[in-house]
Amino acid sequence: MADANTFAALEKREWSDEQVAQSYARAFARAANMVVPHLIEAVAPGPGTNALDLCCGHGNVTAGLVHAGANVTGVDFSPAMLEMARDAVPKARFVEGDVMDLDFDDEKFDTVTIGFGIPHVPNPPAVFKEARRVLRPGGKLAFSVWCGPEVETALGYVFGSIEAHGHPDITLPPGPGANDYADPALSFPVLSSAGFQDCSCVTVASMWRVEDPGAPYDFFREGTARGGALLRPQPEENASAIRKSVVDQVLKKHGSGPIWEVPIPSVVTRAVAV
């Protein structure tokens, strides 16, 4: 039986929670939706393209692929996400599965997309190897990852506030960095080792437009795995201090409102199967 305290178990548990999945789709994904056109452009699917959408979540990237005319299969480990995806994109096929061990034949697909899924798997290089295995030579891969706190981002506001004000006993199990594969210095060599070439990346100015400067705190608390696992168990005193810190940063950096455009930029990486 798998250890309930591993990173993999945390991800599986959090994303299988219907409330977390629905909150992500309703609120957090407003920024992720801005990245969908860039993923679609990167793989350039045409009518009849066989497309595989890994870590498909509630189906926002899948919908973009279908709209472009592709025949799409979506894969995710979360039944709660897949239920929403099937309702949202009835023209696609959805499968519950492990993206590190895909149940598809070699060279079956023309394109593979991964919308913000890479940080949620224990072994990202294994996902890229599987993506290469199921892609035909010349097939295109595109994936997105949120930028890390080295740039201006809501992610930095929230996780910096957790570090400053969170209870020290509330931690995450060891796992890959949430923003590791936004860095081409890491991602390009891993992609090359997996059998990809012609790697490139672009930064997308994704953001949230909100009416509450504390919304980024709420989005991470209610609609993410890592953020939720750190924020939901906080004692009231710590939770209040973390949210206040987020509010203070949004007001300082993005004005007095009443509407705030809070950045949460991302990187879309593209590669071609050798």
- For residue 40, give both structure tokens: 């679609």
Q: Identify the pLDDT of residue 5.
A: 82
- Phi first, then psi: what are they for 48, rounded to 5°? 85, -5
Query: Does the residue 131 lie in any domain?
Result: yes
Residue 251 lies in a domain: no
Nearest of 6, 13, 264 to residue 159 by alpha carbon: 264
Q: Could you tell me if residue 42 is inside a domain?
A: yes
| Residue 126 within any structural domain of the chain | yes
Could you tell me if residue 182 is inside a domain? yes
The answer to whether position 214 is within a domain reads no
Distance CA(247)–CA(250), nearest Å, equals 5
pLDDT digits (tens, 9 = 90+) for 121-173: 999 999 999 999 999 999 999 999 999 999 999 999 999 999 999 999 999 99
* Backbone Cα Rg of the chain: 18
pLDDT over 90 (residue 98): yes
What's the predicted TM-score (pTM) here? 0.96
> What's the pLDDT score for residue 17?
97
CA distances to 3, 34, 90, 122, 179 from 227, in Å: 21, 21, 31, 17, 13
Q: How many domains does the chain have?
A: 1
pLDDT digits (tens, 9 = 90+) for 189-229: 999 999 999 999 999 999 999 999 999 999 999 999 999 99
* Cα 126 to Cα 128: distance, rounded to the nearest angstrom: 5
Residue 203 belongs to domain spanning: 7-150+173-209+262-273
CATH of the domain at 112: 3.40.50.150
Question: Under a CB-based contact definition with an 8 Å cutoff, are residues 113 and 143 in contact?
Answer: yes
Domain for residue 269, yes or no? yes
- Whether 218 is in a domain gets the answer no
